[in-house]
Amino acid sequence: MEGRRRVLTAVSTPAGALGLHVGMAVTQAQALVPDLLIMDADPYADEEALERLAVWSLRKYSPLIALDPPDGLMLDVTGATHAYGDAAGLLADILRRLADVETAARAVCAPTYGAAHGLARFGDGKLQNEPLKVIDPCELVKAVAMLPLAALRLEPKIVQTLSALGVETVAQLEAMPRASLALRFGSEPGRRLDQIYGRLSEPFEAVEAPRQIEVDRRFAEPIGAPETIARYIRKLVDELCQSLEEAGLGARRLDLHFHRVDNAVQAIRAGLAKPSREKGQIARLLCDRIETVDPGFGIERMVLAAPAMEPLGLRTMSSLGDKPVPDVSALVDILGNRVGEERLFRIAARESHIPERSVKRIAPMADPTLLRWPARWPRPARLFARPEAIETMALLPDHPPVHFVWRGVRRRVKRADGPERIYGEWHLSEAEWLSVRDYFLVEDETGARYWVFRQGDGVDAATGGQEWFLHGLFG
C-alpha cells in the first residue's frame, strides 16, 4: 500500500520476466497479466521469518549475525570461513541450502557492511547469473564505484534530488566536495559514503539465539540397561527442573536424545498439557517411553532439552468454601504419551445444524467452552461417520417411512417424529445451496429408535435425490 494505491512489493522470477516490477500498481499488473496470483504483503511475518533464518545461520555459519531488514542478513564471517574452505565456499553453502527450500538469494562477501549491502542488491550480475561474489579488499573502490545511489541506504528523497542534479553513482557522489554536500543534504550522504568505503565503523546489532534450557550427561562407560537409563533420566530431570526454576519457566515439550556409541541418535519426545517443572511428573513421562529406545551397543551421551517453555501459570492457593478442583493435566500427559496426543480430546459445539459438523475436537485441557448444542432436538447417542443407505417405503413429501431395510433386516416403523428439516450450508459451498435433509426419529416394533433422513424435501428434485439414509441410533 502506498497512499491509496496498492503496489507490488515483491515479484517472482517468472512474473519479472513478464514485465512486472516492484513498485508497479496492482491494477496495472493485473491488466498486463490477467490471471496474476496476488498475495497480500505481510511485513511482520517476513520479519519473523528473517529472524528465524538468522537464528538458524547463527548455529551454522557465524556467531555474529545482524538483521538487515526487510530482506537481508549480515553475517560477520571473520575467522568463520575455514570450515567451508574460504568465503566463497561459505557463500556457496548458504545459497545451496536456501535453494533446497526454494529460496532465491544473493550472497556477497565484502570488506564493509555498506559495500556488501549495496553489492548484494545492486551488483552488476543478475540474480541467476552470478548469485555469489567475494570482493577482495583491494578491489573495493572499483567494485562500489558504479553502484547506484540507492545502494547507499539513503532516503529516497535524497536519492531523487541527487539524481535530478545528475549524480547517479557512488563514484560521482564521492567525487563531489563533501562540505557543500553536507550543507545541502546533511551529514547522511557523507556518513554512508564513509561506511561503504570503510572509513567509518558501523553499529552491528547481533541477533541473539533464544535461550534453550538443556542438560546433558556423558558416560565414560556406555550404558544400556533400562534401569540405568531410568536412573539417569531422573538425574537429568532434576537438573532440568533446577534450570527451569531459575528461569521461572515450565516445560511444554521435552526432547531426550540418546547418542549411541555407533553415532546413531535415538529420541524420546514428550509433551505436557500445561507448563510444568514437577520432577516426578516429567520423569514419569520420559521413563514410560524407555522401551521405545534401542540402546544398541550402548549410550554414551544423553541430552535433555526443553524446546518449548512457558511461564508457569498462577494458581489460586485458597478459595472461599469451594472444593478444590483436582488437576488432571498430569493424567492427560501420561495418557497422551501412551496413545498419542491427538487421540485425547474434548468435544465442543460448533455453530452448524448439520449433525456431523456440529461437533469439533478440542485439546483436553482447553479452556471451558461457552457454546452448547440445542437441548430440545433429540440427537442419537451413536452417529455413523457415513450415513448408511436404507431401502424404505414412505409417502411423499413429509411422511416417515412405513418400513425400512437396514443391514439386511426389515423393520416396521411403529412410531415416528419429524421431519426436522436441515438445510445445507449454502454459505460454505455452492453444492449445498439447495440441498435439504429431512430427519425423522423412528421407532420400530422392538422399541429400537433410529435417526433416518431423506435427501431432499420430497417435492423439488434439485434439493436432493430422495434417497433414504440411516444416520444414527438413539438409546
Partner 1 sequence: MTERGAPSRIDALRARIAEIEGGDRRARDVLPFGLETIDARLPGGGLALGSLHEVAGGAQGVTDGAAAALFAAGIMARTEGKILWCMTKADLFAPAIAQAGLDPDRVIYLEAQDETSVLACFEEGLRHGGLGGVVAEVPRLSMPVSRRLLLAAESSGSIGLALRRWRRREDASDFGQPTAATTRWRVTTVASEALPVPGVGRPRWFVELIRCRAGESADFLVESCDATGRLALPAGLADRPAAAQAWAASTAA
Q: Does 415 bind partner 1 (CB under 8 A)?
A: yes
Reference 110, options 84, 80, 75, 82; nearest CA is: 75
CB of 416 to partner 1, least distance (A): 7
Applying CB under 8 A, among 145, 417, 426, 460 the residue interacting with partner 1 is 417
Q: Given the complex with partner 1, which of 65 and 441 has the nearer CB atom?
A: 441
Query: What 8-state DSSP symbol labels residue 316?
Result: -
Applying CB under 8 A, among 7, 15, 141, 359 the residue interacting with partner 1 is 359
Angle subtended at Cα 446 by Cα 441 and Cα 449, rounded to the nearest 5 degrees: 20
State how far the Cα of 403 lies from the Cα of 411, in Å rounded to an integer.
Answer: 6
CB of 271 to partner 1, least distance (A): 15
Q: Does 13 bind partner 1 (CB under 8 A)?
A: no
Query: Checking phi first, is residue 263 left (phi over 0); if not, alpha (psi -120 to 50) or beta?
Result: left
Residue with cell 492457593: 317
Applying CB under 8 A, among 56, 204, 373, 433 the residue interacting with partner 1 is 373
Q: Does 379 bind partner 1 (CB under 8 A)?
A: yes
Applying CB under 8 A, among 25, 381, 459, 461 the residue interacting with partner 1 is 381
CB of 331 to partner 1, least distance (A): 4
Estimate to the nearest angstrom the gap between the alpha carbon of 158 and the chain centroid: 40
Residue pair 10/22 in contact by the 8 Å Cβ criterion: yes
Q: Given the complex with partner 1, which of 88 and 287 has the nearer CB atom?
A: 287
Calculate the alpha carbon distances from 183 to 161, 180, 192 in Å. Answer: 14, 5, 15
Q: How many amino acids of this chain bind partner 1 (CB under 8 A)?
A: 52
CB of 408 to partner 1, least distance (A): 13
State how far the Cα of 466 lies from the Cα of 456, in Å rounded to an integer.
Answer: 5
CB of 319 to partner 1, least distance (A): 15
Applying CB under 8 A, among 193, 332, 394, 436 the residue interacting with partner 1 is 332
Burial class of residue 76, CB neighbours in 10 A (0-12, 13-18, 19+): middle
State how far the Cα of 385 lies from the Cα of 287, in Å rounded to an integer.
Answer: 37
Considering only the stretches 60-68, 296-304, 362-370, 388-396, report the one whose residues sit in contact with partner 1 under the rule CB under 8 A.
Answer: 362-370
Applying CB under 8 A, among 14, 79, 210, 475 the residue interacting with partner 1 is 475
Q: Does 445 bind partner 1 (CB under 8 A)?
A: yes
Applying CB under 8 A, among 211, 343, 410, 412 the residue interacting with partner 1 is 343
Q: Cis ω on the peptide bond leading into residue 419 (within 30° of 0)?
A: yes
Q: Does 474 bind partner 1 (CB under 8 A)?
A: yes
Q: Does 420 bind partner 1 (CB under 8 A)?
A: no
Footprint on residues 35-54 left by partner 1 (CB under 8 A): none
Q: Given the complex with partner 1, which of 329 and 466 has the nearer CB atom?
A: 329
Q: Does 344 bind partner 1 (CB under 8 A)?
A: yes
CB of 264 to partner 1, least distance (A): 27
Q: Given the complex with partner 1, which of 182 and 359 has the nearer CB atom?
A: 359
Q: Given the complex with partner 1, which of 258 and 451 has the nearer CB atom?
A: 451
Q: What are the DSSP calls for 61-76, one per residue?
A: T-SEEEEETTTEEEEE
Query: Based on C-alpha coordinates, what's the Rg of the chain?
Result: 34
Q: Does 384 bind partner 1 (CB under 8 A)?
A: yes
CB of 475 to partner 1, least distance (A): 4
Dihedral sign from CA coordinates of 279, 285, 287, 293:
negative
Residue with cell 537481508: 72
Applying CB under 8 A, among 293, 335, 354, 434 the residue interacting with partner 1 is 335
State how far the Cα of 187 lies from the Cα of 170, in Å rounded to an integer.
Answer: 16
Considering only the stretches 217-225, 257-265, 307-315, 323-331, report the one whose residues sit in contact with partner 1 under the rule CB under 8 A.
Answer: 323-331
Calculate the alpha carbon distances from 173 to 110, 139, 192 in Å. Answer: 20, 19, 11
State how far the Cα of 359 lies from the Cα of 354, in Å rounded to an integer.
Answer: 9
Q: Given the complex with partner 1, which of 191 and 471 has the nearer CB atom?
A: 471
Bridge-partner residues for 361, per DSSP?
347
Instruction: Point out which residues bind partner 1 (CB under 8 A).
Output: 323, 325-328, 330-332, 334-335, 338-339, 343-349, 355, 358-359, 364, 368-369, 372-373, 375, 378-385, 414-417, 441-443, 445-449, 472-475
